[in-house]
Structure 1
């Protein structure tokens, strides 16, 4: 029974340890982007630190009960508070990466120190040959890691969120690591040691519980520190963090409503019409009976498409159903998009655009690709040669596509890589760019399969637009030499160049 309880503690501590790792990776992906880099940094630092911790624990094997209880208390604090500390370092100190390395090393070293001490405790209960003891220990450890790995995305993150989820796991870690071992080996400890360790566990639980109670207020304050304007709405979904800010000018009374996804600006209500008119109307100068919008869950590109009465139906494919819900029901955004989702011609699909295109449902005369910037592998695949090949499969004869392509001024290699990738998928391309004050100089690529590049112009049915006109579009197709990058390479699924370009050019511009 004693061995079973120790192995249960191994199981629980392993589950907690993996949750700490996944929490650090997920937090970095939300705050910084580039999930591959975040996972590589966290896992490599933690694995290295685990080796250091294992070596550092060798002198502690003479008093394994006390040492293990102390290490578990420290691990519960370090792991439980890790997300909160890193969020604070990102929001107020601008020291996220150094803090991440320090926290990952500390948590990894404490996890690494567990194994040799647990092995000593198992052997104190009943002597066993080394091979069998290692097999038992690692079997419990790996099964615990499986449970922790599944619990984090499916239970902890959606139910408790990042900060509270880590704190709750810290509490479980403290109870499993300290209480169980103290109870099993209480006769091997003096009275003073038992009192000290019980007091230490109570202090750890008190700190974690107090922090848990204050977590909501901390998260609100830290989130607000990241944005210049007051936050009107914040929602964490399984896919992203949605933040809407709203600032009212005291002089003119104008309201600036801004949408951020994972911290990246998606639009400002002051000038979003420039972006969306430039994106949609050159495309609509061609065939437009059936229109497909990939992304654009805010409904602003949809608003521009619906200006044309001869559009028979529009399908909008958006990954996050919460974004569609907000665009349909949240008053300020619904008003901004003209309640476009209420139009009977509109059909919405909550799905990953790449997977949805692979099913190849229907043919469309015009396709709008309005995706977030490709600063992560998950978004870079939506700008790959393979993705544009899937788009071509759903284009009707004579159909055309337009792709928002980032800034040719701030990220020229990224912009021209997108154009080259579209061309590599068999399109003739016509790049153009306009000024959107909240974004800067912003670019698009209009494309059609084969033949000559499609003309960048307006349809006679476009009506009166606030920004786009024929002279502007004529100027928009001209790129000065200093904005052209011939060294850009195409972006594919197996070689995602855009993540590298975005990091080099956009993030540090």
Structure 2
């Protein structure tokens, strides 16, 4: 083999490695987009807008980065240093954002403690509030910085390839962009199949480590062509130490910063493929009395799902009106309710079987076997709270997306006496489909002739249009009678539910007849009484005056999501630092 042939082969091997590097970097870039957009949705609340805004900002910044690449004279040195910058920003940005948000959230208390201010005059407005809001929008700043540097990568790799071949490459752009697109697809697959289930800081460190590794590889491949290579080597070694520290301690720091966003002590943080689960405890022990239980609160993606202080109001109002109005209770379908609290109330009735559809297995594991995740004291409290309902032999668990699982149940010809839909609010497009007329029509097909459906329907006070839209959408699914009722749950404020029957009398009339005939079963409750239930069907004057203009939530329309999002944004304009969480069961 001649020297010329050997040289040609070496060039092609290096070029193949460069194309592979481009594909890997494209995957890293896409994962950074997902990481930042996911975290932005968590801290800003408006999930869809945050995700789209973050990705949009990164793409625009990448365009500016591509233009800025023309200013870099030495493509080899520029590319090697570039990966160092991306590694630093990618590894540390989410941790830095969490620290900034946590600090600004606690700033009023720090000022109060420093100047010995009374608790009722905490400085929560003005520049303190503005500083906190700026911190919450830092994910967009990080997205712009990362996007800018990522945008420089493709032009530099294209120039390195031409310098390698020492000629203009006709298909250079196509080759580089082809590797970029394929790599991005692989990055998306890695995100969905693996990295979504990791803690967000761990995912960021793994991605940043890939950038650092590529930086080392570029330094070795083009050692003679890179300027300031000894300085670069020293910086890379320092960055390696930095990444190792973040890998070892970053998640603990992240948890500490996240804990600062909750008023109570965080006793569990768990990131699953589907959501972030946080359980907090408010210790109410007085005079070291061990019999006094504490208050447990569950948050999913930063949104309150229940407080043990008043969850019985919510769950008793959710379950007992629908169970009391159903002639039979043999077979029940429960969609959601992975904490087992709705089940606890269902099993107070003579139920033969309950089919439960839950998306996240971790929710069931946490509330069925809490000793695996919590101290014995808290685990015992969790079991007492849900009455160990998730271990009942009458329960049949199905881990699935409810939208698809309901279709399977219809295909199997399953029939239920009662259907309970206890899902989070439609604050994300993925949840919106579970509030459509299509979904409710399928549920209607699963009910027996005199069966009853109840649906958690958000707040009639904070999200009035969304609340009414849920009832109107259910009515569009061929139910003969649909009613709505509401009650105050202190942790959430005014909350509402929708009930529907396939045929026969409406639920409120059924309850009245049972009370009048004194045939109402005696069910042990801590808060609910039947006069309270009947009164809850009444709404303020003019509550439904806009009913005609409210649109039905059809599959693909995102109408309900928009109603809920508009209400949430309006509410955000009225809250201050005292309301650290957007609440929704």
TM-score of the aligned structures, taking structure 1 as reference length? 0.93
Which segment drifts farther, 258-267 or 24-33? 24-33
C-alpha separation between the residues in 1 aligned to 2:559 and 2:486? 22
Q: Aligned residue for 2:417? A: 365
Task: Rate the CA distance shift 1:137–1:386 in 2: closer, same or farther, 3 A.
Answer: same
Shift of 1:148: 1.8
Pick from 558, 563, 585 the counterpart of residue 496 of structure 1. 558
Shift of 1:448: 1.0
C-alpha separation between the residues in 2 aligned to 1:442 and 1:422? 18
- Is the CA contact (8 Å cut-off) linking 2:338 and 2:363 kept in structure 1? yes
- Is the CA contact (8 Å cut-off) linking 1:326 and 1:333 kept in structure 2? no
Task: Rate the CA distance shift 1:508–1:246 in 2: closer, same or farther, 3 A.
Answer: farther
Shift of 1:508: 4.5
Q: Aligned residue for 1:437? A: 490
SS class of match (1:199): helix
- Is the CA contact (8 Å cut-off) linking 2:40 and 2:54 kept in structure 1? no
SS class of match (2:306): strand
Count of residues in correspondence between the two structures: 503
- Is the CA contact (8 Å cut-off) linking 1:290 and 1:312 kept in structure 2? yes
- Is the CA contact (8 Å cut-off) linking 1:281 and 1:462 kept in structure 2? no
Shift of 1:478: 0.9
- Is the CA contact (8 Å cut-off) linking 2:77 and 2:225 kept in structure 1? no
Whether 2:355 is the aligned partner of 1:315: answer yes
Pick from 452, 474, 483 the counterpart of residue 400 of structure 1. 452
Q: Aligned residue for 2:537? A: 477
Task: Rate the CA distance shift 1:303–1:116 in 2: closer, same or farther, 3 A.
Answer: same
Whether 2:384 is the aligned partner of 1:335: answer yes
Q: Aligned residue for 1:325? A: 365
SS class of match (1:104): helix
C-alpha separation between the residues in 1 aligned to 2:161 and 2:524? 79
C-alpha separation between the residues in 2 aligned to 1:102 and 1:422? 42
* Root mean square deviation of aligned Cα: 2.0
Q: Aligned residue for 1:179? A: 216
Shift of 1:97: 5.1
Q: Aligned residue for 1:246? A: 281
Q: Aligned residue for 2:126? A: none
Shift of 1:128: 4.5
Whether 2:335 is the aligned partner of 1:294: answer yes
Which segment drifts farther, 262-271 or 125-134? 125-134
Shift of 1:421: 0.8
- Is the CA contact (8 Å cut-off) linking 1:30 and 1:241 kept in structure 2? no
Pick from 160, 175, 181 the counterpart of residue 136 of structure 1. 175
C-alpha separation between the residues in 1 aligned to 2:206 and 2:393? 46
Shift of 1:31: 4.1
Q: Aligned residue for 1:353? A: 402
C-alpha separation between the residues in 1 aligned to 2:528 and 2:52? 44
- CA deviation map 1:293-317 (0-9, x unaligned): 11111111111111112x2211111
Unaligned runs of 5+ in 1: none
C-alpha separation between the residues in 2 aligned to 1:5 and 1:11? 10
Q: Aligned residue for 1:21? A: 33
Q: Aligned residue for 2:477? A: 425
Shift of 1:44: 1.2
- CA deviation map 1:7-52 (0-9, x unaligned): 2322222221111112112223444455432331122111111110
Pick from 77, 83, 99 the counterpart of residue 66 of structure 1. 77
C-alpha separation between the residues in 1 aligned to 2:364 and 2:552? 32
Task: Rate the CA distance shift 1:304–1:84 in 2: closer, same or farther, 3 A.
Answer: same
Q: Aligned residue for 1:108? A: 147
C-alpha separation between the residues in 2 aligned to 1:139 and 1:58? 21
C-alpha separation between the residues in 2 aligned to 1:387 and 1:76? 45
C-alpha separation between the residues in 2 aligned to 1:84 and 1:354? 35
Whether 2:558 is the aligned partner of 1:506: answer no
- CA deviation map 1:417-471 (0-9, x unaligned): 1111111112221111111111111111111125553326376114342222222
- Is the CA contact (8 Å cut-off) linking 1:233 and 1:243 kept in structure 2? yes
Unaligned runs of 5+ in 2: 1-12, 105-131, 371-378, 572-585
Pick from 413, 418, 435 the counterpart of residue 383 of structure 1. 435
Q: Aligned residue for 1:125? A: 164
- CA deviation map 1:81-121 (0-9, x unaligned): 23223333444444455312211111111111112211111
- Is the CA contact (8 Å cut-off) linking 1:295 and 1:370 kept in structure 2? yes
Shift of 1:182: 2.2
Whether 2:243 is the aligned partner of 1:204: answer no
Q: Aligned residue for 2:99? A: 88
Shift of 1:477: 0.9
- Is the CA contact (8 Å cut-off) linking 2:47 and 2:427 kept in structure 1? no
Shift of 1:78: 1.4
C-alpha separation between the residues in 2 aligned to 1:13 and 1:483? 55
C-alpha separation between the residues in 2 aligned to 1:134 and 1:415? 52
Q: Aligned residue for 2:204? A: 166
SS class of match (2:339): coil
SS class of match (1:425): coil
C-alpha separation between the residues in 1 aligned to 2:402 and 2:225? 61
Q: Aligned residue for 1:2? A: 14
Q: Aligned residue for 2:115? A: none
C-alpha separation between the residues in 1 aligned to 2:103 and 2:475? 43
C-alpha separation between the residues in 2 aligned to 1:419 and 1:91? 39
C-alpha separation between the residues in 2 aligned to 1:351 and 1:413? 30
